[in-house]
Amino acid sequence: MGYMTDQNQSSDAAATLERRPDGTVVVQLRGNWKQPANLPAVDTLLGRLDEGGAPIRVELDGKELSGWDSGMMALVMGVFDACAQRKVPVDTAGLPEGAQRLVRLARAVPPRATDHAGSARRSFLAAFGAQTIEFVQSTGAVLTFLGDCVQATVDLFRGKTMFRRVDLFLFAQAAGAEAFPIVSLISVLIGMILAFVGAYQLKQFGAEIYIAAGVAIGVVREMAPMMTGIIMAGRTGAAFAAQIGTMQVNEEVDALSTAGFSPIGFLVLPRLLALAVMMPMLCLYAMLMGIGGGALVSVTMFGIPLSTYIDQTRSVVSLSDFSMGVGKGLVFGIVVAAVGCLRGVQCGRSASAVGEAATSAVVSGIVAIILLDSLAAVICTVLHI
């Protein structure tokens, strides 16, 4: 290691114990302790403190030290702790002046017993119980938040909530218009993938003509709303959580409350409405792009005429399929925005808390979307929609 050769000194740090007849134990520290490696172990040295009877006093001798740093100080403090347990006085007069001063400084304030929650180790059952209670409480917090959102929306329509229309447009632009490229790309690719997957199966029966039906139903009912929702969770939900979380850190949310603005009305509502308006539109757009992607594959690679493809699609997709897809989009949009804002509002007051809020907004958003989508699939099957 370059660091060690630079020092041009061998690692000759050593610590020995010497017992005098009067019961004094002298801890002798010798050589250069300014080395990062090969420091004598504290534990073995202290383990030998009681050899041949308990010491009456302990002396630290550093007259033959050629260099020292915090590594040696840690050993010295270890000696102090061990002697405090045995109620044995320690004499530091033999240490270098600087080291003596550091010892005095470190021992000036006795360690305080703190009731820091994180330091206590809990048993498995206690931790499990605490987690359960926390979960129940957090469910309560979510319901309170949703209630507040509904209340704020009602207030908005009664003209009672402070609401900045500029914000709504800004968020609609950021969440909607600026998401166009990525939604286009993903939707076209999804449509193409569905077409390929369907084509290889249908080819066995010479029924490639039905690719259009498979793509249309798959994209319109399932893939377009779900993929748009997931894109929104990653793009916009995370942004919402980080924005509001940073405002928590800067005390901006507190400032809103004291000024008499409801943080829900001022921060959450514009975001919620922006996504509720933009998501159905994005969803509709994703459906068209997906069908387009399917058509591209079918026409260029499987030789299906475009007009046939369009006819097939039109005969298969009904208005109820479309409204199903758009409805899902609306619900997913509201869920993504609400989860993002909730995580932001719950955010702690540190940089890492903002990161956690953003991560958790994305994860909870995606989980919620998939769960709701599965639920919708089951209900639709049972009700034959």
Q: Closer to another protein at the Cβ: 256 or 335?
A: 256
Contacts of 352 (CB under 8 A, 6+ apart): none
State which H helix or E strand residue 341 sits in.
helix 319-345
Closest Cα to residue 331, out of 231, 226, 246?
A: 226
Contacts of 311 (CB under 8 A, 6+ apart): none
Q: Closer to another protein at the Cβ: 63 or 160?
A: 160
- Under DSSP, the state recorded for 68 is -
- Which residue in the set 257, 320, 350, 374 belongs to the binding site for another protein (CB under 8 A)? 257
The b-or-e profile of 37-71 (16+ CB within 10 A means b, else e) is eebbebeebbeebeeeeebeebbbbbeebeebeeb
d(CA 377, CA 277): 24
- Which residue in the set 70, 132, 250, 318 belongs to the binding site for another protein (CB under 8 A)? 250
Q: Closer to another protein at the Cβ: 66 or 250?
A: 250
Tell how strand 90-94 and strand 57-67 pair up.
parallel
d(CA 288, CA 301): 20
Residues 202-231 binding another protein (CB under 8 A) are none
Q: Give the shortest CB-255-to-another protein separation in angstroms.
A: 4
Q: Tell me how far apart the terminal alpha carbons of the chain are, to the nearest angstrom.
A: 72
* Span from 80-88, 138-146, 247-255, 274-282 in contact with another protein (CB under 8 A): 247-255
Plot region of 23 (φ>0 → left; ψ -120 to 50 → alpha; else → beta): left
- Which residue in the set 8, 44, 258, 381 belongs to the binding site for another protein (CB under 8 A)? 258
Is 322 a binder of another protein (CB under 8 A)? no
User: For tokens 């509904």, what's the residue?
Assistant: 150
d(CA 219, CA 295): 12
- Which residue in the set 254, 301, 311, 348 belongs to the binding site for another protein (CB under 8 A)? 254
* Span from 57-65, 255-263, 323-331, 360-368 in contact with another protein (CB under 8 A): 255-263
Is 260 a binder of another protein (CB under 8 A)? yes
Residues 154-183 binding another protein (CB under 8 A) are 162, 164, 167
Is 345 a binder of another protein (CB under 8 A)? no
Residues 110-139 binding another protein (CB under 8 A) are 115, 117
Is 64 a binder of another protein (CB under 8 A)? no
* Span from 44-52, 68-76, 245-253, 298-306 in contact with another protein (CB under 8 A): 245-253
SS3 content of the chain, % helix, strand, coil (to 5): 70, 10, 20
Residues 261-280 binding another protein (CB under 8 A) are 261
- Which residue in the set 91, 178, 251, 311 belongs to the binding site for another protein (CB under 8 A)? 251
Is 363 a binder of another protein (CB under 8 A)? no
- Which residue in the set 149, 256, 331, 338 belongs to the binding site for another protein (CB under 8 A)? 256
Tell me which residues touch another protein (CB under 8 A): 115, 117, 162, 164, 167, 246-247, 250-252, 254-261
